[in-house]
Chains A and B, each alone.
Chain A
Amino acid sequence: MKKLMIGNEAVSRGLYEGGVNIVSSYPGTPSTEITEFISKYDDVYSEWAPNEKVAMEVAFGASLSGKRSACCMKHVGLNVAADPLFTLSYTGVTGGMVVCVADDPAMHSSQNEQDSRHYAIAAKVPMLEPADSSEAYSFAKGAFALSEKFDTPVLFRMCTRMAHSQSIVEIGEREDFEGIAYEKKPWKYIMAPANAIKRHPFVEERTQKLTELAENCEYNRVEMSDTKLGIITAGTCYQYIKEVFGDSVSILKIGMINPLPVKMIKDFAAKVDRLVVVEELDPIIETHCNNIGVKVEGKSLFSNMGEFSQQTIREVLLGEKPETVKADSEVPVRPPVMCSGCPHRGMYYTLAKNKITVLGDIGCYTLGSAPPLNALDSTLCMGASVSGLHGFNKGAGNEKKTVCVIGDSTFMHSGVTGLINISYNMSNSTVIILDNSITGMTGHQQNPTTGYNIKGDPAGKIDLEALCHSIGINRVRVVDPYDLDECDKALKEELAAEEPSVIISRRPCVLLKYVKHEKPLRVDPEKCRACKRCMKLGCPSISFKDGKAVIDQTQCVGCNVCSQLCPFDAIGREEE
């Protein structure tokens, strides 16, 4: 059956047909949909784990038990899961294990554009990289057999364009995997020095064997044509090359990024006059070519930043620029914004008004850093707001003008360990948990605080207040971020207190289906004095037209935060 699928759905279908039994993941753009699609298959156990390290260790345990497992994450998630990955390379697997990792060149929705291929090299595990949905499907389906044959976890690299581009896939049937009976193998699975020292040579031998495979396998192929120009490429760049050159250049298309072939590259190099490597981000293939003594051009021509396109290829290799037309007027940028009625806005307004230094975290609420709120001072990585606040307060002294904000899902991911440190090492810190009862930015995934699992069924529910208390925080209070006075009072009182505290700013994400929207508010133009106080919220529903504030009736959800700011009582709801 032919089906148009985004790359992530194709990976999911491949894993499914390849017999995956257990999938544990943490959401992260652009990887999230792989696990969301998997969750629709009833014959696969799937879950959202609290973070990527947990997810990978769940996949490890499932493999140890003899089942086929997978875990999926974005590139920065692999940093979190790097610890188990490096030693999983030594233990190898029982049931096949696939680690899907999605890079985000150009940072459509990420804090950096690191290249995950380094991890495959550093951890000495094979890495596959498809170039369209059809390959994503077939590579994923075969990845378990590869994993089991070579006794290794398999890294599966996607990138934003691959993950979110649809192309046609010819799908097949699931091959059920019964599992392998559990057998105790301490020499393989207890990675204490005496055992690990014997596993390291195994890892090196495995890389040798995988290199032999790379020379002649379904993943790497040569498309010979005119020999004036030869291009070595992989992933989505292959499509850009084909778009520009069709069949008029010779291509070595790599599908297994690690280990890379040696003889295959040398043979290809010998046949072409000019050899160019086209790869996004870091010079991984190029460095390999240099290491094996093959002269190539790569990053001397192409950037190691951002995404490529057919336009990049045309400009660099053909010197062609497109003819374009543009409007004369300056087109203002349109950055993403916090939604109308976003529950984070009230708390951010309160923080900005009180000129508080705010260490931020990863999620929708990073958008509070933009004008007019300008409410954030830092955003580093998942959980860093809480640990960073402790360090900031130890460094800056206890002036108590600094807090951190972190979402409910991010707090579960890795904020809680920072709070343990605040309690244990006693800093007088105030942590604000922006609890919108969902993992928002990645498109509404459940998490340990929501009480529902990946399939939407009732599940264990972590009680944030009880958790914070049990860590040793005595001052834990809940506020409604739609109530500005309450936010202001809580903030001032907790900052004045002589002990650590947690403010839980709780209201569900306004985009959740069960959240009822109130009737939109209107500005009474007679009463509006154009003071623009309501504009300080950065609400996309409020604009200024003909000298008066106006509320967009299609967007406003009636949260009433703006009306609390109006000194002239101009904002209200028309009574029926």
Chain B
Amino acid sequence: MATSIMIVGVGGQGSLLASKLLGNILTAEGYDVKVSEVHGMSQRGGSVVTYVKYDDNKVYSPIVTEGEADYIISFEKLEAARYASYLKKDGKVIVNVQEIDPMPVIIGAAEYPSDVLDELKSKGVFVDELDALTIAEQAGSSKAVNIVLMGRLAKYLGIGYDEWISAIENTVKPKFVELNKKAFELGYTYSK
């Protein structure tokens, strides 16, 4: 059975780069890999989701459906709750606790439910939360939230640190390599 990872967040947060990095490292590790992205609306502040699946055997479907995800990497708090139904029984949620108001909240048509992570935890969901925005800023750019979260994910996947670093070198533009390596390290070594 393939390992299923979902990367969810708000359009413009850099989920495409995260999935590209993940796809590259998993391919380099010799797995069969499928990655499914959504383009078009992705830069427009909407809810975005990317699926990454890998296995020693052949991976068929490129998408992840409800009850299947081993990991949900959420770039924003509300989005973790939006896709929680995709989580497998013993799946893990890694979440950046940043809150970004969606338009219905901005215009006062809805409230931002700030307690969603506690609600999930009370139902036995494993939630690993971190302030990836602050960590990214420490690394040098608020845009590096994506790689901070990849660093956090790396704790669970069992692929060596050095392999990740070389995947970063092969994936991001040369002038951003140092920033992203730092962001990865801070995500990887983060402890509460």
Q: 9 tightest A-B contacts by CB?
A: A322-B67, A336-B46, A109-B40, A329-B113, A29-B40, A336-B44, A165-B62, A311-B65, A332-B110
Query: Residue on A with the closest CB to B120?
Result: A327
Contact of A325 among B34, B36, B68, B87 (CB under 8 A): B87
Known contacts A309-B65, A334-B78, A336-B44, A370 near B103 by CB under 8 Å: yes
Q: How large is the interface on A (under 10, 10 to 19, 20 to 34, 35 or more residues)?
A: 35 or more
Asked whether A184 is an interface residue with its Cβ less than 8 Å from the other chain, the reply is: no
**In the complex, A544 Cα to B107 Cα: how many Å?**
8
Residue pair A443, B24 in contact (C-beta under 8 Å): no
Q: Which of A289-337 contact B (CB under 8 A)?
A: 309-311, 322-337
Given contacts A30-B40, A540-B45, contact A323 B89 (CB under 8 A): yes
List A residues 232-258 near B (Cβ within 8 Å): 236, 239-240, 242-243
Q: For B106, list chain A residues within 8 Å (CB).
A: 535, 538, 540, 542-544
Q: Which residue of A lies closest to B61 (CB)?
A: A243
Instruction: Give every chain A residue within 8 A of B37 (Cβ-Cβ).
Output: 6, 164-166
**1/0 contact string of B22-48 vs chain A (CB within 8 Å):** 011001000011111111110111110
A541 to chain B, nearest CB (A): 9
The yes or no answer to A33 lying at the interface (CB within 8 A) is: yes
* A372 sits at the interface (CB 8 A): yes
**Which of B33, B44, B113, B116 is within 8 Å of A337, CB to CB?**
B44
Chain B positions within 8 Å of A460 at CB level: none
Majority DSSP secondary structure for residues of B touching A: loop
In the complex, chain B residues whose CB is within 8 Å of the CB of A337: 44-46, 103
Once bound together, how far apart are the Cα atoms of A166 and B20, in whole Å? Answer: 10
Contact of A327 among B12, B43, B113 (CB under 8 A): B113
CB of B56 within 8 Å of the partner chain: no
> For the complex, what is the distance from the CA of A29 to the CA of B39, rounded to whole Å?
7
**Which residues in chain A, 331-386, are within 8 Å of chain B measured between CB atoms?**
331-339, 364, 367, 370-372
Q: Is B102 an interface residue (CB 8 A)?
A: yes
Interchain nearest-CB distance for B67 vs A (Å): 3
Q: Does A453 contact B (CB under 8 A)?
A: no
- Beta-carbon contacts of A12-38 to B below 8 Å, as 1s and 0s? 000000000000000001101100000
With a CB–CB cut-off of 8 A, which chain B residues contact A323? 67, 89
For residue B10, which residue of chain A has the nearest CB? A334
* Chain A residues in 8 Å Cβ range of B17: none
B39 and A554: CB pair below 8 A?
no
Nearest A residue (CB) for B35: A166
B45 touching A161, Cβ below 8 Å: no
Assign chain B's interface to a size class. Answer: 35 or more
Enumerate chain A interface residues (CB-CB to B < 8 A).
2, 4, 6, 29-30, 32-33, 108-109, 132, 160-161, 164-168, 236, 239-240, 242-243, 309-311, 322-339, 364, 367, 370-372, 441-443, 511, 535, 538, 540, 542-544, 554
Interface residues of chain B, those whose CB is within 8 Å of chain A, are: 10-12, 23-24, 27, 32-41, 43-47, 59-63, 65-68, 78-79, 81-82, 84-87, 89, 101-113, 115-116, 119-120, 123-125, 142
Given contacts A161-B62, A166-B34, A332-B111, contact A338 B104 (CB under 8 A): no
Task: Please list 29 pairs of residues, one from A and one from B, whose beta carbons are closer than 8 Å in the complex, sorted by A's number.
Answer: A4-B33, A6-B37, A108-B38, A109-B41, A161-B62, A166-B23, A166-B35, A166-B36, A167-B33, A168-B32, A168-B33, A236-B62, A242-B61, A309-B61, A324-B87, A327-B113, A329-B115, A330-B113, A331-B81, A332-B102, A332-B109, A332-B112, A333-B102, A337-B46, A339-B43, A339-B45, A370-B103, A535-B106, A542-B106
Given contacts A109-B41, A329-B119, A339-B44, contact A161 B65 (CB under 8 A): no
List, in ascending order, chain A residues with CB within 8 A of B87's CB: 324-325
A132 cross-chain contacts in B, Cβ below 8 A:
34, 62
Residue numbers in A under 8 Å from B103 (CB-CB): 334-335, 337, 370-371, 538, 540
Instruction: Answer whether A543 and B113 are a contact pair too, CB < 8 Å, given A322-B68, A325-B120.
Output: no
**Beyond A4-B35, A166-B35, is A332–B66 a contact (Cβ under 8 Å)?**
no
Min C-beta distance of B85 to chain A, whole Å: 4
The minimal Cβ–Cβ distance linking A446 to chain B, given in whole angstroms, is 17
Across the interface, which residues of B come within 8 angstroms of A511, CB to CB? Answer: 43
In contact, B65 and A333 (Cβ under 8 angstroms): no
Given known contacts A161-B63, A326-B85, A542-B106, what 8 new A-B pairs fall within 8 Å (CB)? Answer: A167-B34, A168-B33, A327-B120, A334-B47, A334-B103, A371-B103, A371-B107, A538-B107
